[in-house]
Structure 1
């Protein structure tokens, strides 16, 4: 245990340590306070970076800074002196804080500019890229075809791929004994008695448009269709069509010819078309559209020395069917056939892509090889 004299010595030592831990408050007269402010402002101005400015802030505005201690000492002054001292100390601390804020902004801008200069990336350096894909040429072709008709003021219509037999056949004037309705040609979702099929054409979209849209109707309907075809170089069981339908007052075969010729020029440039009579249940009269062979341009016809495999030396390539809409089709959709007439056409997207890009095998379009898509995309858009 400590004796009495040891306790006194220990107490004096503790008081000495406290005096060193908390500096004595400076005098509060105007000269002393001005000196503290000038010292703080000088330290702020000399701070070279944000780290040193942080230390200046601690030294001159922290809890143990001279100005903070002076502010604490105000409470011990007589009432007459307390007001003047408080105003003097408050103004001093305000000047120091403003200087700190201004210097902080200056240093921040300088450091940001330095980082932007020093941390630049050389964008000319070689970099490695991953494999680049491409839109499928069929998708690009459908977009091109649709855009062509959109520019003519038409609308793009879509419909379900699973259709009722009435929409796919009956409404289009295909009688129950028509060969196209046999199971050898049509894919039924369930037994034939279900009357539900995978659509064999996009023509049901035209019927839906007549049933749901106000007349006149100008629509084009691209989409996927399904048939029980062989999978070979020129046939696919799943392929794409784009069909157009116009129903308005005074529509004639001449309007059909103008629209299809404009469509052909948008896809193939200046090209000659041939119109041949044909038969389709849903149009009357019906015409088949042929394109002049884009390989031989007809020079192989009757010329055994220059045969053409593309058109079999006939000079023409079958492109699609068209005609004036059969009044029975209009009547099935509730259209007044005494007032309205129309035309329709159908084009195979894969066949158009073959003509436009020289594709020899349709199976290349369904193999999913991105090299095929990249090779054609320069021409397919």
Structure 2
């Protein structure tokens, strides 16, 4: 029996493993439950009682030797993998390389818009993205079957045509006005959905910021001065602003606001269609019907509202010509904004 133990000791010492398969074969032979060492322990019952102590000690020593050898074979195999190929030596004097993420460009613009309006007293509100017909259309002066509803292609819930993905964050305006008492000075940013073909200039979902101010004696001059302030804070003090008459069911009078193209500085380019102007938002005085739908006396209170697309603002601010890039999560695109947050 002593000869068998010595033979195993020699075999363990001479064992090598240059592949994972050879390492596994060693483990099965010397470490596993059904290994040759297990057989030696089973022989304990056949050893004379006076020799069992010495025998057990000898077998335990061989077991320890086998486990130590197994660990050394693992280390040797890992070292050989690391040294394979033409890796450059590690320079321990270099600073640690940490791959940090970045704030999304739409988040950058969202935060900047909120910051600008918070400086003049606007608070931020949120609302559900799945809305009912009343909050998304009816309360905003969209009569049932009115052609104005066709201005926005809507994603309706098939099982309930009264429920839809909101087409604008104006629905938040209704929820605030029907549940609180004026004055209101609120900003409502969020994601909205419209059933549109996806292209460089349109998407089936985008992000919008709705703002509204309701109080006594609020006039058109308040709307214009608020938006003048916003445009110059975001795009620079040299930015020129103009208003053009427009139509929205929930405001009267209504206007779209343009700024001088910040890419060509008003000289004309493909972004502004060589006009020197770029439209950035819609606005107007809140229609009295909207106030009355929310239980607010339109004889006592007036207000204005405006809405803008964050993607459109980001395209102008960062000179991006394809808004699909904002939702594709291409790290090559996103890494360009690391130092802008």
Aligned residue for 2:190, secondary structure, equals strand
Question: Any residues of structure 2 matched to 1:259-274 within 5 Å, and which?
Answer: 259-270=226-237, 271-274=239-242
Q: Is the 8 A contact 1:156 1:221 kept in 2?
A: yes
Q: Tell me, in whole angstroms, the C-alpha distance in 2 between the residues paired with 1:183 and 1:287.
A: 16
TM-score (norm 1): 0.63
Matched, 1:258 2:219: no
CA distance in 2, matches of 1:341, 1:176: 25
Q: Does residue 157 of the first structure (1) align with residue 125 of the second (2)?
A: yes
Q: Which runs of 5+ in 1 are unaligned?
A: 1-123, 301-307
C-alpha deviation, 1:143, in angstroms = 1.1
- Equivalent residue number for residue 76 of structure 1: none
**Alignment counterpart, residue 208 of structure 1, candidates 175, 191, 212:** 175
- 2:154 aligned partner: 186
- Tell me, in whole angstroms, the C-alpha distance in 2 between the residues paired with 1:127 and 1:343: 54
The alpha-carbon deviation at position 183 of structure 1 amounts to 11
Instruction: Give SS of 1:207's match.
Output: helix
TM-score w.r.t. the length of structure 2 is 0.70
* Distance 1:377-1:201 versus aligned 2 partners, 3 A rule: farther
Larger radius of gyration: 1
After the TM superposition, which residues 29-40 of structure 1 pair with which residues of structure 2 at under 5 Å, given as runs?
Answer: none
Superposition misfits of 4+ residues, deviation over 6 angstroms: none
Match of 2:308 in 1: 347
State whether residues 125 and 186 of structure 2, in contact with CA within 8 Å, keep that contact through their aligned partners in structure 1.
yes
* Structure-1 separation of matches of 2:188 and 2:180: 14
- Match runs of 1:163-182 below 5 Å: 163-179=131-147, 181=149
More helix by share: 1
Corresponding residue number in structure 2 for 1:92? none
What CA deviation, in whole Å up to 9, does each residue of 1:183-228 have, x standing for no partner?
Answer: 981001224x530000000000001111122210000000000000
> Matched residue of 1:313: which SS?
coil
Q: Is the 8 A contact 1:137 1:377 kept in 2?
A: no
RMSD: 1.8
Q: Distance in 1 between matches of 2:152 and 2:258?
A: 28
Match of 1:277 among 236, 240, 245: 245
SS at structure 1 position matched to 2:312: helix
Shift of 1:248: 0.2
The alpha-carbon deviation at position 263 of structure 1 amounts to: 1.1
* Cross-structure match for 2:194: 227
